[in-house]
Structure 1
Amino acid sequence: MVINTTESLALASERQKGYLTKAFIAWNQELRHQTGQISDSLAKHESNSSLEQLWNWRAVLTEVAILSRFHLPNSFNGCVDQNCDWWLRATKLKSCNRFEITKYRNIHSCGAQHLTSHHPHASADVIAEYIQPNYLNGKGPSTKDIKNIVQADLGCKISYWKCWKSSEIAKAMIRGTPEHGYAVLDGYRHMLMTINEGSKTSLKLDDKGRFKYFFASYGAWIRGFVHMRKVLAVDGTFLRGRYDGVLLSAVAQDTENHVFPVAFCVVDKECDAAYEYFFEKLLDIVPDTSELCIISDRHPSIEKTLSKFYSEAYHGCCTRHLGENARKNFHCGAFLGHYYHATKAYRRDVFHDHFEQIRIINAEVADYLENVGFHKWSRAYFPGNRYDVLTSNIVESVNAMFKSIRRFLHIKSC
């Protein structure tokens, strides 16, 4: 019997090639003669005599071993039980990259002592190979789902830790690792600016050459902002994963209320230094003019750095954040109706009518809102033009869009 090797085995040693080839054929025959079962992976590739599509022999071989409930020795030329009669031997042909099986005994005499549900070959790497297709189009299965999949498909019980480790390996196969993403970030910047003409990017490293900040704005966003309302909503959202971090976003809106991204920046945390870097780079894209209005929550670093880089632009508070903060801090929600009417009022006399009702309901809330400044949250007193954008909901919508992928926001090279 002569069999072709695959291109994926080209870098493997000659000894490994022989072991993988002969073991695959042997276990294929074993399943046919003894159990009549064959795994989906084997059945899919069985019709191809050259097996050119089978890129990972060891993974498929191990899957078959798990299904058949027998253990494989490291050399794959005999059963794990030294007293068993199962045996296979193959030699590589000198004239070509093929192997010839010269001897094969296809009957196990080792009994059922190896037929256990806890299989030693069901390692995290093997399970990761098996469940890898489940991560191609989304989040993928949970650790509990992985345990059920392996139990149902392979009849093997694995621990919670092995399920979690398998999922991490499978996700790294599909999406790459965060470490690799940070390593190729400079190359990603180059390609982004080459393919997207007019884009602006900036990468900042610390004294030890480690990642600190990354700013990016596509050329289409920069050109498109000219036609947007001159209102920017700024906010940050936490990134999840091994290295955490915060994603800062600047988002605008067109005349039909469509959300339009302007810039993003990955930083370590929301602090003065991070926002200074963000607004410094944003200033190259969005000039500081009296026509510009920037809406955000009341993070102290935002207010501090805006006065430094956008001294002419007007800064407004998100009315939603301000109202919810007052409700939570003073444990009172009865004032919210008058509060939202006051924020939307065009005339100052109408504003003061509602504000007096807030003072009657809760004087502490009224003092809190007055200390913030009417010009920060009320339409009647705001000196600029907010274009009916009273909240930072447009940037919150972008954050919500990223909710399911914030865990793996890193670069993957193809």
Structure 2
Amino acid sequence: MKDYTIHRGVDYRVYESEPTTFYAKCTQYGAGCDWLIRVTKMSRKFCWEIRKYNGSHTCTRATISQDHSKLDSNTVAEAIKPLVEVDPSIRVKSVIAKVQAKFNYTISYRKAWLAKQKAVESIFSGDDLVPNIRVLHRVFWSYYPCIRAFRHCKPIVQVDGTHLYGKYKGCLLVAVSQDGNNNIVLIAFAIVEGETSEAWHFFLSNLRQHVVTRDGVGLISDRHDSIRAAIARSNGAWSPPRAFHMFCIRHIESNFLRKFKAPYLQKLIVNIGYSRTVREYETRYQRLRERVEANTNWLDRILREQYALAFDGGYRWGYMTTNLVECINSVLKGARNLPVTALVKATFYRLNELFTRKRAEAEARINAGHVFSELVTSKLHANQRAAGNIQVSCFD
């Protein structure tokens, strides 16, 4: 009934809506239109039967509205379900465009947003709920292709956390690495209650047990107290010689600025971290010390191995920041307002798409290499035959 009136550009008013009866009239009934309908549910026939119907609407709207009263959020939610299943983080503007293309009406931003929330809840939560369900406290997950991929990546891991901002609060913790072609590889996720010491210990313990199983790995993070506390209680899993914990130089710069309110020294702090030789480090360190001795006293509380290239032993692989993982946080921004199951599925679909694309690229390169090899081989054979003919003719 709604679909009919929306597409015809007419409207009706419900006078009776019961489990076995539906009765409605045109909003212009008695003023230029006699459309009405009465429908009854036939229990024996297991169907609805139209008992009274006056034919098509004869009214015309005085004004053309951009929206339709019967195009409510429930109707829109049913219409956009296929889109939400494919991409749970679909933008509200895309929902509005889809409705406009399908129904020829432009709905409000609020109606589109509400419809998206209902579609997400219906797809990922509605029918899967069971009585006496147990509520999770934290969840860690990784995918086997990601675990395998890390074996071929640089022995470097960057971790960071970002807040969820939908109906369900908490933090999303992410770990990334990078392969030899500088492709970012997501290797693990976790949803936790917040960036607490317990939450980071949960994440890093599972990361070490299930994904980062080799030794000699560099771990880069910010200087959050909870991360340092979690590493301290890791029983050596994230400490030398098994792993080397280092800090993002941008976070050290930010902490320095918050402490001393000296923006003119920010660049010098960063340059100290980027020093590649001991001499270069000492020169810049003394320059900072000459300004105010308290500056270097504060910096001395941080081990040089944790922020300076000259002393990192090569375990940073040249990475001074956590930019890799922060890039991923921005990519997942549209999914951070989803329920837990929808968020997990969003990571699965996006990683599946990534690995599928990378596999196609790899196969294309392999095929191109085979074609090139065959061309080179055939050319060599032709040259050899030509050389053999020349030798024979000279001999003759």
Number of the residue aligned with 1:125: 74
* Secondary structure of the structure 1 residue equivalent to 2:138: strand
One-letter identity of the residue aligned with 2:143: Y
Match of residue 60 from structure 1: 3
- CA positional deviation for 1:399: 1.6
Query: Do the aligned partners of residues 169 and 244 (structure 1) sit closer, same or farther apart at CA in structure 2, a change above 3 Å counting?
Result: same
Q: TM-score, normalised by structure 1?
A: 0.64
Compute the displacement of 1:145 (Å): 5.6
User: SS at 1:342's partner residue?
Assistant: helix
Q: 1:100 to 1:323 in 2, by over 3 A?
A: closer
1:330 to 246, 254, 260: 260
- Kindly report which structure 2 residues correspond to 1:316-327, keeping only aligned pairs within 5 A, or say none: 316-327=246-257
Contact 1:247 1:265 in 2 (8 A): yes
1:176 to 124, 139, 145: 124
In the alignment, does 2:286 pair up with 1:356?
A: yes
Partner residue in 2 for 1:165: 114
One of 230, 239, 244 as aligned partner of 1:311: 239
Partner residue of 1:71? 13
Q: 1:381 to 1:62 in 2, by over 3 A?
A: same
Q: Greater CA deviation, 376-385 or 110-119?
A: 110-119
Could you tell me which amino acid in structure 2 is paired with residue 140 of structure 1? R
Larger displacement relative to structure 2 (301-310 or 92-101): 92-101
Output the CA distance in 2 between the equivalents of 1:79 and 1:153. 23
Q: Could you tell me how far apart the structure 2 residues matched to 1:209 and 1:92 are? A: 40
Structure 1 counterpart of 2:246, which letter?
G
CA shift for structure 1 position 142? 4.9
CA distance in 2, matches of 1:252, 1:139: 27
Q: Tell me by how many angstroms 1:382 deviates.
A: 2.8
| Residue range with higher mean Cα deviation, 319-328 or 270-279 | 319-328
| Pairwise CA distance, 1:325 | 2.4
CA shift at 1:375, angstroms? 2.2
CA distance, structure 2, for counterparts of residue 229 and residue 108 of structure 1: 70
Amino acid at match of 1:380: A
Q: Distance in 1 between matches of 2:168 and 2:52?
A: 53
Distance between the aligned counterparts of 1:239 and 1:369, measured in 2?
A: 33
Matched, 1:287 2:213: yes
Deviation at 1:344, TM superposition (A): 2.2
Residue number in structure 2 paired with 1:381: 311
Q: Is the 8 A contact 1:296 1:392 kept in 2?
A: yes
In 2, Cα distance between equivalents of 1:70 and 1:117: 17
Q: In the alignment, which residue of structure 2 is the partner of 1:7?
A: none
How far off is 1:273 after superposition? Answer: 1.1
The aligned residue for residue 224 of structure 2 is 299
SS at match of 1:71: strand
- Does the CA contact (< 8 Å) of 1:235 and 1:250 recur in 2? yes
Gaps of 5+ in 2: 350-396
Distance in 1 (alpha carbons) for counterparts of 2:208 and 2:127: 30
Q: Which of the numbers 108, 133, 141 marks the counterpart of 2:92? A: 141
CA drift at 1:91:
9.0
Matches of 1:133 and 1:117 in 2, distance apart? 24
Separation (CA, whole Å) in 2 of partners of 1:359 and 1:72 = 80
C-alpha separation in 1, matches of 2:308 and 2:253: 12
Aligned-residue offset at 1:377: 0.6
Deviation at 1:378, TM superposition (A): 0.9
Distance 1:91 1:303 in 2: 68
Unaligned runs of 5+ in 1: 1-57, 185-207
Comparing 394-403 and 71-80, the one that deviates more:
71-80
Q: CA shift at 1:271, angstroms?
A: 0.8
Q: 2:276 aligned with 1:346, yes or no?
A: yes
The 8 Å contact of residues 249 and 264 in structure 1, kept in 2 or not, is answered as yes
* Stretch moving more, 334-343 or 112-121: 112-121
C-alpha root-mean-square deviation of aligned residues, in Å?
A: 4.3
Equivalent residue for 2:142, pick from 217, 225, 250:
217
Distance in 2 between residues matched to 1:70 and 1:396, nearest whole Å? 52
Change (3 A) 1:267 1:99: closer
**Cα distance change of structure 1 residues 87 and 306 upon mapping to structure 2, 3 Å threshold:** closer
Structure 1 residue matching 2:151: 3-state secondary structure? helix
- Structure 1 residue 317: Cα displacement: 0.7
Any idea what SS the aligned residue of 2:181 has?
A: coil
Q: How far apart are 1:304 and its partner, in Å?
A: 1.4
Matched, 1:274 2:202: no
Q: Residue type of the partner of 2:209?
A: D
Give the distance between the partners of 2:200 and 2:188, measured in 1 at CA.
13
Q: Residue 69 of structure 1: CA displacement?
A: 3.5
Identity %: 25
Equivalent-residue separation in structure 2 for 1:134 and 1:262 (angstroms): 27
**Would you say the 8 A contact 2:139–2:191 is kept in 1?**
yes
Tell whether the 8 Å contact from 2:10 to 2:60 is kept in structure 1 after alignment.
no
Contact residue 125 and residue 169 of structure 1 kept, 8 A: yes
Return the alpha-carbon distance in structure 2 between the equivalents of residues 141 and 379 of structure 1.
45
TM-score between the two structures when normalised by the length of structure 2? 0.66
